[in-house]
Structure 1
Amino acid sequence: MPYMYIVECSDGSFYVGSTWVLERRVWEHNNGGGVEYTRRRRPVRLVYHEKYERISEAYGREKQVQNWSRAKRQALIDGRPQDLPMLSRWPSDPEDEPSVE
């Protein structure tokens, strides 16, 4: 089954990805087989994941969550779905620019 996942890096930042095999992908991030972003921030630990029927759904969710603020990602990780609408960005707020983490 495909997954969208979030790992927390050693510097406290989050990396959002999608994969077919979750355990293998986290292992790859921790053993130099991940993307450059996580290679420089090892070790990483899995903090959240969602399972999907199709990889295209997992990838779509990955792209959605990548554009969220850190606070909104943290609410998702913490299991606070009621906070997600409140944490949506307002384009006019410069402090809430999209995160590249």
Structure 2
Amino acid sequence: MNRGIEMYLIDIRLKGDQVTEDQLTAHRQWFSRHFEAGDLLIVGPSKSRAQSGLILARQMAHKDLDQIITEDAFYPAGADYLVNEFEAKLVADQIKGDA
């Protein structure tokens, strides 16, 4: 069997009473910068839980992912980052692209 694709699933849960427009703008700039750099592969708000979002990140050293997370505007405000490292065994062609 082929080796899977290792990646991280990050569930970010914000503290609703601490969210400011400036933080939200900085958060969007943060994930856009890391998306453009190829660190974050899929980013979006949760439709099931208010004040939260999901990120699919490429495989990297855990310390590098920790560094990326600490750069987020919501990190100092005490947002929860639930990080799950996993190995995707089945990936749809639409997601794999030409790779």
Say which structure is richer in helix.
1
Relative to total residues, which structure has the larger strand share, 1 or 2? Answer: 2
The structure having more radius of gyration, on CA atoms, is 2
Higher relative contact order (CA 8 A, sep 6+): 2
TM-score normalized by the length of structure 1: 0.33
